[in-house]
Structure formats: C-alpha cells, structure tokens
Structure 1
C-alpha cells in the first residue's frame, strides 16, 4: 500500500473548486477550468507538495468533477471519489456548512480513512459519453412530458381540435422530440455494443425481470460498469434503499429510515423495476407477499429494490444471466 504524504480534499461545484489540506491548514479556491487547474499546480509547487505522493479525495457530483479528474490523470495525480453520504456519516454531528469547510472535512476524512482508500481507476470515455447521452435523453423526455401536459390542458380548457395553431405546434414539437429520443437511444445501444464488457453486463441486467433498458443503462452509467462500488450494499446506500438506525440510549428509539442523501433518479427508476418484478417475477411475488403480512407496502417496495440490487451484483460478479427458478448445486 502506497503511503501518501499529502491528502487534499476537494469540494466540487459547477464553476469553482475548493481545495484544502487539513494537515497544513491550507485552502485554495479556483475556477473549475484549465486556468484554475494551472493555479492549483502552482499552489502545490509553492507549498512543496510532491504531486506523485499526493492523493486527491472528492465526492461524486454527477459530472462537475470530470474536467478536474481529466487534469489529474494528465498530471498523474492519484484521486479517489467517495459517496457524499459516506463522508457525512463519518463526521458525526457537524455545525456550519460552506464550500471551504466542506473541503477541509473531505481532506480530514481522507486522512482518517487513508488505510482503506485506494485510487480510482482512470476515466472510461464510454462512461462519460453514456452519462451525457442519458442526461440529454432525460431532458428530452421531460420536455415531451411538459408539452403533452400543455396539449391536454389546452384541449380541456378551450375545446380546440388539432387544427388549432398552438395544438399543431405542440404536436410537431412532440413528434420531433420522439424522433430525437429514438436517435439518442440508438446511439446509446451503439455505444454499448462497442465494448464487450458493457454489452455483456447490459445483457445480464436486462435478463432480470423488472430491469428494463433505461434502468440497465443508468445502472451501467452510475456504477461505471460496476467499477465504482465494491459490493451491492455500498451501491444500495448510494441509491438510498438502505435504512439507517435512529436510536440513542433508552430515550431515542426512532424507526430506521433511508437517507435523503441519495441518487434520487436511480431510486425512482428502481421503484418502477421493483413494481414490475412484484407483478411478474414469481420469486419476488412470493417474497413480497410474505413481507406484506407484517410490513406496509412502501417498506416492502424498498425491500424488493434492495433484493434486486443484490441480484444484480451477484449475477454481474458471476457473469451469468438471470434464470427463473434457478437452484444452486448442493
């Protein structure tokens, strides 16, 4: 295991980066751009930080960190990305919050957990493009939903038909959006087919009842083809389906609840997957029926989501397709 002489915590936002070294009580705020990265390098040199012995710790942000990561890779600076929930849970009670404070806390987290932190693997260009395509597809789908809502509202309120100018414009935009969504989805499939590993895992995911193409695409993207999360439980925490205990001594005994610090979009997609599995997968149906005898529907739905995640990671690890009524060898 490499010994890192310097641990830097980085709080990432769209326009700026807050970089802190808790051990030396140093802080730097720069633009999230090439110009800012140049200032960061000068700052490190000015403080005698050997970049070969420096580990950068930063949170997942959904994309804002990618330019800085590309810079780190070009300079051979080791970095690791950590779930924001994991960092928050390690801090206990905290007071106050701003970007500089967060950067110091991330640096302190890195110093405390250094023995188990390992540098992240280099960025996969396919993963970056897949996330970009999914993000643009989401925008198109939301725009289409808004247009469809406006269409129904106008017809209901004014009793107009398809000859109305506004209705014709809306219908034309919906038609265009449908074509663009189809084009984006075809590009996603094309991208997945360029990688044997991606294609294999996509086939495994879609073999599971309840996991459709969109859910499979998002799972591949946010796990970076199952390279970001060591096991199913860590991914379940990231998605927000693991309940955390809320108790203290004998006086505080709250019901375990899932954290609001989660990837809500993935969680929403898993909701649909769980509902589909509860309707069409015999094993999940039987499991849900047993759970419903003692739990409410919402809790059972969450249990099913976790069960699907366990199934996903198990099949991916073994490299096997899902087989209904599969029985393990004795």
Structure 2
C-alpha cells in the first residue's frame, strides 16, 4: 500500500459510518447502507482530489461486511484490520467519539501502509459456512442450558412426565437438536459442493479426534488452508503456541501460551486432543511421555493440540490421508 497518497479511516457502527481523510483532515458521517456508500465514494473523490486512495476500517462482523462487499464490487482497494491491532497502536486515548475513532484508524492506515496488504471478500460459500458454524455453536449452548434446567427440575418434581414445564423443555430440546442436525447437513453440503474444501475436509477427517465440527472450523478459520503460511502461525493465532518471557538476568519464566488467541478454536482443539489421546495410540504414548517427563496435564494437552495442528497442515500440504505409522511397524 506504499504507493498510495491518501487513506480514509472509517469507523463502522450499526446505522452509520464515520469517514476521516488523513491528509485532507476532513470528516463526514454517512448511513451504513448502499446509499451511504455511494455518497462516501463521491465525497472522498471531491475532498481529496486523489485517485491513489485506499480505505481502512475495523472488522466488526456483519456491520463492516456490507461495506466490504460494496467496495469489493466497485473494485475499490480497502484494508479490513483487527480492532485490537488498531487499539494497541493508538497509544493512550482519553476521549472516545466516532470522529476520533475514524481519525485513529486513518492514522493507523497511513503509518502502517507499507506493511498492510489489500483485503478481499470471502466467497459466498465461505461466508455461509461461517454463519452456520456460529449459529450451530449458539444453538448447542442454548440446548445445553435447557438440558441443565430440565435435569434440575426433574430432581425437584415427583412426576416430571406430567409437569408442563418439563414437557415444554423436552419439546424445546428436541426441536433444537433437529435444528442443529439440519445445520450440520447444510454445512456438509457447502463443503462437498466445493472441490477444494471437500478434498481438505476428507483429509482432515482421516485423523483421529477430528470430526465434522473441528474439520469445518479448521477450514473456515484457515481460509481453506490459504490464510496461514505454516502450522506454527495458526498455532499462534489459536493461542496454543508457547512464547518466551525474559527480561535482563532476573526475569526468566518458562514458555507460556499468550492469552490472546481464538478461544473457540482453542477450546475445540482441546476437546479434539482429549478424543485423540483416547483413540490414537501414537498420541496416547506421546501424551504419557510428556506426563512422565514431569509436565503438567494441561501443558501435555497443549503439546497434543499442536501435534494435531501440525498433522492437519501436513495432510493438506501432502494431499494424502493421515497414516498411522505404528500399523506398519514390523
């Protein structure tokens, strides 16, 4: 982005977007809809009188997705950045307004223009996959809450089969279970309709401990294994990569995982690791070896998590299913 001479920082909210041109030092508010986006482009051209302009805004989910889709359709260069990165780079900010936020984003875009690269919109199938995975997760959590309530009510009641509350809870649980199953069927349809995703999905499921949900989440979060250069980069993204903590001669702690990371992906990998330890003889021996070395259980689990990530990237890179080597030992 180093060849651009102007950057427009945009603060995206539910109903409005605030735009700030870094060099022109002008600000204006627009509606967060198609009409607002058209007016934004015209205003920027008039205010900056520059053709070498790129737009920078935070990834705020559905609110920023509409703007990204419009800019992509008009072939306008934009950068969709992590809100945390922009916040950490802004220093101490005592005041907060939409205008100031847009100004901070514009400053970030200009100062880091040589490091930034243009963003692109994911395919419609990839976007739908993400929405369905998020919806499935929400329904599963709701269902678990209803099951907990039903269990508590059964303890208090002498005849739970005739109680209206229990009957309603059972019906809700059955309905949510059917909805989750329908979503899972649609997730598999999306994956199998895409040749590349289908191939990687089958390769991932050849590994013990990885099923429908973990495989789908891996495909989604890695951009079908195009977003990260190596498994170590993805491990860092998930928060499972250990980092050193050392300063001078007095502070020298053992390596620890950073608290920043995708907690959902980390949780899924933890469950996959527990399952893999039970069903994969190699990982079971590896886990037991780490415990024998005196390592904590969670640290040993983390080692298994990283093993699974490394295996996932390896099978996709090779294009062949995972093979248990112990089965071929003489």
TM bucket normalised to smaller:
0.7 to 0.9
Structure 2 CA distance for partners of 1:285 and 1:49, relative to 1, 3 Å: farther
| 1:41 CA drift (Å) | 1.7
Match of 2:321 in 1: 321
Equivalent position of 1:41 in the other structure:
41
Deviation string for 1:79-105 (max 9, x for gaps)?
33444565567x396555846555555
Q: CA deviation at 1:255?
A: 4.7
Work out the CA distance in 2 between the residues paired with 1:247 and 1:95: 29
Flag the structure with larger Rg.
2
- Give CA-to-partner distance per residue, 1:112-152, whole Å, 9 cap, x none: 44344332344200011111111222222122112111111
Q: Distance in 2 between matches of 1:162 and 1:307?
A: 47
- Please name the residue that 2:170 is paired with: 171
Task: Please state how far the C-alpha of 1:72 moved relative to its aligned partner.
Answer: 0.9
Q: Residues 177-188 of structure 1 correspond to what in structure 2 (within 5 A)?
A: 177-188=176-187
Indicate the SS of the match to 2:54.
Answer: strand
Structure 2 counterpart of 1:285 = 284
* More displaced stretch, 131-140 vs 19-28: 19-28
**Residues matched between the structures, number:** 325
With over 3 angstroms needed to count, the CA separation of the structure-2 counterparts of 1:215 and 1:61, relative to structure 1, is farther
The 3 A distance-change label for structure 1 pair 37 and 167 is same
Aligned to 1:194: 193
Distance of 2:90 and 2:246 partners within structure 1: 14
Which residue does 1:211 correspond to in 2?
A: 210
Give the match for residue 298 of structure 1: 298
Matched residue SS, 1:55: strand
Q: Which moved more, 1:61-70 or 1:191-200?
A: 61-70
Q: Shift of residue 244 of structure 1? A: 3.6
* Superimposed CA distance per residue, residues 252-279 of structure 1 (whole angstroms, 9 cap, x where no aligned partner): 4455443333222111111111111222
Q: CA deviation at 1:37?
A: 2.0
> Once superposed, what is the RMSD of the aligned Cα atoms?
3.0
Maintained 8 Å contact 2:24/2:48: no
Does the CA contact (< 8 Å) of 1:6 and 1:49 recur in 2? no
| Alignment-derived partner of residue 78 in structure 2 | 79
Question: Secondary structure of 1:65's match?
Answer: helix
What runs of 5+ residues in structure 2 fail to find an aligned partner? none
Quote how far apart the aligned CAs of 1:307 are: 2.4
- Classify the secondary structure of the residue corresponding to 1:184: helix
TM-score scaled to structure 2, two decimals?
0.84
Cα distance in structure 2, aligned partners of 1:266 and 1:273? 10
What residue number does 2:128 align with?
129
Per-residue deviation at 1:155?
0.8
Per-residue deviation, 1:316: 1.8
**Greater displacement, 54-63 / 207-216:** 54-63
Residues 325 and 28 of structure 1, relative CA distance in 2, 3 Å threshold: farther
CA apart distance, 1:108: 4.2
Further displaced range: 281-290 or 104-113: 104-113
What runs of 5+ residues in structure 1 fail to find an aligned partner?
none
Question: What secondary structure sits across from 1:260 in the alignment?
Answer: coil
Aligned-pair CA distance for 1:239: 1.7
Give the C-alpha shift of residue 46 in structure 1. 2.9
Contact kept in structure 1, 2:10 and 2:56, CA below 8 Å? yes
Q: Contact 1:58 / 1:82 at 8 angstroms: preserved in 2? A: yes
Look up the match of 2:118.
119
- What CA distance in whole angstroms lies between the structure 2 residues aligned with 1:49 and 1:256? 51
SS in 1 for 2:55: strand
In structure 2, the CA distance between the partners of 1:164 and 1:214, relative to structure 1 (3 Å rule), is same
Instruction: Judge conservation of contact 1:8–1:19 (CA < 8 Å) in 2.
Output: yes
Q: Report if the CA contact (8 A) 1:85-1:238 is conserved.
A: no
| Secondary structure in 1 matching 2:325 | coil
Question: Counterparts of 1:209 and 1:228 in 2: how far apart (Å)?
Answer: 24
Contact 2:201–2:216 (CA under 8 A) maintained in structure 1: yes
Match status 1:309 vs 2:309: yes
Match of residue 139 from structure 2: 140
